[in-house]
Copies of this chain bind each other. A is one copy, B any other.
């Protein structure tokens, strides 16, 4: 039994949720490029997501974004996904694209606007009941652009009250995860800018409220694996939004900018019992494929998570603890680096094949002709993007 063999059971249980919006067009404030074959509907997004799962076996769920993915019949959508081997996952609310939210949503000074935003979340909870989704994810664009524009303290109090109303509506098996973000779209202050704020808010709500950690939403230099360890310790890590960044919230493919950071994050997940059958941490992607192909972009992403998980699982934790306790700095660091530098790709390919999957999912997808097919089929209509 090789070292790799000892971790395959754990790897087999890995599941990563795909964001429906990753299959639509995205871009910057300067330009959104479109590409042939881009889905026009949530059904086409789900079909694309099914491709990712077919070749990797890693992505059995698709997260929805409301209203971008609104349909008349969610039970039918659930069946549609089910037929393609997928479940519907986290429901993401949107309180940043309605004109009413120009100066805030859950934090707005106007009670009517706050209620509108709360009602939107009630609608999302209704959808969750229909789709069987467990998690309601709230990413709040609320904030201000200029000092004095808003009352930071008052907004925080109103946020607490609004979240309380939403929380009270959750079903017994439903959860609320509150995402934090350093900045953007607001440029002076953000109402949930850091893990401390998200933690303080969800701690006040109750056990079904947790923090969502988006790996791209931190200040430069932030040690993200520390936050992972801390939130797991506090019992409040609800979910991940995986992506990567060089500068701001770049939303690049997870592991693309700093693979070693992804490795360290996954190590702390494992160390803190956030990985495995007993964990309730949800692993999601949240990415933009502005210039690269979208389906292969998602395949590459889940493979990156899998490869780094394998490396992190290979760390000799007993030896690591011994080195740490003896003050052997280079020895302890060396044990981590040894696992990081181990090339697990061959073992993973063989193991994939043993499970009836493609040895190289990227190559297999490219050879499948799917991309050419959808490019030919999906003519006319409006390609999906962030606005529709």
Chain A contact residues, CB within 8 Å of chain B: 26-31, 33-34, 96-97, 99, 102-103, 109-110, 141, 145-153, 156-157, 182-185, 187-190, 193-197, 199-200, 218-223, 225-227, 229-230, 232-234, 245-248, 250, 252-253, 256-261, 264, 268, 271-272, 290-293, 296-297, 300, 307, 320-321, 323-325, 327, 329-330, 332-337, 340-343, 345, 362, 386
Contacts of A260 on B, CB cut-off 8 Å? 147, 258-260
Sample of 11 further A-B pairs with CB below 8 A, known A147-B336, A221-B247? A109-B324, A146-B256, A153-B232, A157-B233, A187-B246, A187-B252, A193-B226, A200-B230, A292-B330, A293-B329, A343-B343
Residue on B nearest A191 in the bound complex, by CB = B226
Contacts of A190 on B, CB cut-off 8 Å? 223
Residue on B nearest A245 in the bound complex, by CB = B187
Contacts of A324 on B, CB cut-off 8 Å? 109, 148-151
Instruction: Establish whether residues B247 and A182, one from each chain, have CB atoms under 8 Å apart when the complex forms.
Output: yes
Instruction: Establish whether residues B223 and A188, one from each chain, have CB atoms under 8 Å apart when the complex forms.
Output: yes
Contacts of A259 on B, CB cut-off 8 Å? 260, 337, 340
Contacts of A188 on B, CB cut-off 8 Å? 223, 246, 252, 257
Among B147, B193, B258, B330, point to the contact of A296 (Cβ < 8 A): B330
